[in-house]
Amino acid sequence: MTAVSTNETARFSARRIFSASLGCKVSRIDAAALAGKGGGEAPAGPGDADVLLVHGCAVTDRAERDGRRLVRRLRRANPRATLVVSGCLAERAGGSLARMPEVDLVVSLAARDALSEILDAHAAGLLPGRIVTTADAAKAALFAMPAAGRPLEALLDPERTRAFLKIQDGCERRCAFCVVPSLRGKERSARIEDVTDAIRRLGDGGVPEVVLAGVHLAAFGHDRGTRLVDLLTRLEADPPACRVRLSSLEPMEAGDDLVDLVAASRVVVPHLHLPLQSGSFSVLKRMRRGIVPARYRALAERAARANPRLHLATDLIAGFPGETDADFDETCRFVEDLPFASLHVFPFSPRGGTDAAAWHRENPLASGVLTERTRALRRLGAAKARAFAARAAGTTAEIVTLCGNRGLTDHYLEVSLELPLEGRLPGRRLQARLVSGAAGMPLEAHPC
């Protein structure tokens, strides 16, 4: 493992970095920030790049395999470029990645700010190994809220209609199925002042929606003696020019005051993604989720009472090791009872090194049972989504216009745009009337 000092090498010319990321929003934000450190224009494709950056995911064994396949595919597309692997995949499997003939460098998450210097050192032949970190890797923050006057490290979609801003990293929970805490380290947060400044700068620059992201977003501020609700309260008191959306929040930290604020906010859109994973008390206990169904129910029902328009989303794992037919039925009944607008359903996928993977090896669930449970929950999710969209028909909503004649409502419904040409341009924020579309099609947004 090689440590790089920023004073060791001269700066080479700007490089065109083609970035390909796998995994969550945080991974995509990290990858975009890394790609921006090349100093050159974004290439049209991998074949035009000087550097190929794979920012991989390691949340499951399948995700790791996908990352390796992506490495091989990009190398075939461009044999001459420098190929760099970073992200959780590099943290998890740096040694084996460095042995792949397609890989030139494995760069730790903490070395992100030194990427340009690392590439310079590699080009000059000054690196004795392929795995690179920085001398202060243990202290490095994995996000950067820039001071005023510096470029924003936010992930902007191609039409600059939405920005994804990473404000928190790390997780100190120990769910039985997850390796993320060992890869991302301790919880740490940006300063509230820097986050509010970034949001205002994005809004003033014409971005209509900013999505706040983190590995454990609900823990934002805990390392600084503050809370996520403190940040949102400050925005509420002095609204920015954009609306704000929260990405996934662990329900064990999302308390009543946060739910109440989101439900009534004029800045934060009415959308809560609270991962549940199972509606069975015994399964949640084995998962070490730190929450029980009764507490989750109280939060969900509180949100729905406070704002019936609120989009409540959740994650569910089908077929967790030891899940019985009775456990699964308990989950189905629980989900049916609650006012969910959408479900993200995943079949259980073991991750090596976790307790859940060991339990799976000892007593694997038949693949046919796993498949059927996954399908059943997805059918339930589709029914919930249709019901939520049906309730929205005939109402008005605030739309952010996207590319492809699409829009996204404040309560997270994708709609087709039936608006005048000017109103359909990407990046607009406007009120629209929602009308039921043709069978199988999304809602339509019409002029109010």
Res 222: pLDDT: 92
| Helix, coil or strand: residue 169 | strand
**pLDDT more than 90, % of the chain:** 60
CATH superfamily label, 155-387:
tm_1862 like domain (3.80.30.20)
Here the tokens at position 167 are 């404000």
End-to-end CA distance of the chain: 61
Both structure tokens of 145 = 């809220």
Q: What is the pLDDT of residue 75?
A: 96
pLDDT in tens, 213-255: 998 999 999 999 999 999 999 999 999 999 999 999 999 888 8
Q: What is the pLDDT of residue 38?
A: 60
Confidence class of residue 13 from pLDDT cuts 50, 70 and 90?
low
Structure confidence at residue 40 as a pLDDT band (50, 70, 90) = low
CATH classification of 2-133, choosing from 2.60.120.620, 3.30.2020.30, 1.20.1250.20, 3.40.50.12160? 3.40.50.12160
Residue 78 has pLDDT above 70, yes or no: yes
pLDDT > 70? residue 263:
yes
- Which pair of structure tokens corresponds to residue 61? 């064994």
Cα–Cα distance for residue pair 227/234, rounded to 1 Å: 11
> Across residues 368-379, what is the average pLDDT?
97
Listed range (9-23, 121-135, 362-376, 383-397) with the worst mean pLDDT? 9-23
Residue 47 to residue 420: CA distance in whole angstroms: 39
pLDDT at residue 24, as a whole number: 84
Percent of the chain, pLDDT > 70?
Answer: 89
Query: How far is residue 289's CA from residue 275's CA, in Å, rounded to a whole number?
Result: 10
Count CB-CB contacts under 10 A for residue 79.
9
Instruction: Locate 349 and state its tokens.
Output: 């996928």
* Res. 83: pLDDT tops 50: yes
Residues in contact with 366: Cβ distance below 8 Å, sequence separation at least 6, in sequence order? none
The rounded distance, in Å, linking the Cα atoms of 45 and 23 is: 20
**DSSP 8-state secondary structure symbol assigned to residue 146:** P
Residue type for 127, please?
A: L
C-alpha distance from residue 244 to each of 200, 272, 342 (Å): 11, 12, 20
Distance separating alpha carbons of residues 355 and 322, to the nearest angstrom: 12
pLDDT at position 438: 77
Mention every residue, 6+ apart, whose C-beta is less than 8 A from residue 33: 112, 144, 153, 155
Q: What is the pTM of this model?
A: 0.85
Tokens of 283: 């399964």
Domains of the chain, by residue range, sit at: 2-133, 155-387, 396-447
pLDDT of 48 higher than 50: yes
SS3 106: strand
What is the residue type of 53? L
For the ranges 33-47, 111-125, 217-231, the lowest mean pLDDT is seen at 33-47
DSSP string, 8-43: SS-----B-EEEEE-SSHHHHHHHHHHHGGGBSPPP
Return the DSSP state at 126.
-
**Amino acid in position 57:** C
Q: What are the φ/ψ torsions at residue 388 (nearest 5 degrees)?
A: -65, -45
Does residue 138 surpass a pLDDT of 50? no
Sign of CA dihedral 34, 38, 42, 43: negative
Residue 101 has pLDDT above 80, yes or no: yes
213 is written with which tokens?
A: 């992201």
Collapsed DSSP state (helix, strand, coil) of residue 209: strand
Cα–Cα separations (whole angstroms), residue 4 to 87, 107, 131, 148: 18, 11, 11, 28
Q: How far is CA 432 from the centre of its chain?
A: 28
For residue 8, pLDDT over 70 is answered with: no
Residue in the structure block whose two tokens are 């080009």: 123
Instruction: Answer whether 273's CB lies under 8 Å from 314's CB.
Output: yes
pLDDT, residue 282, reads 97
Tell me the pLDDT tens digit for each residue of 151-209: 455 567 666 688 888 899 888 888 999 888 878 878 889 899 989 998 998 999 899 99
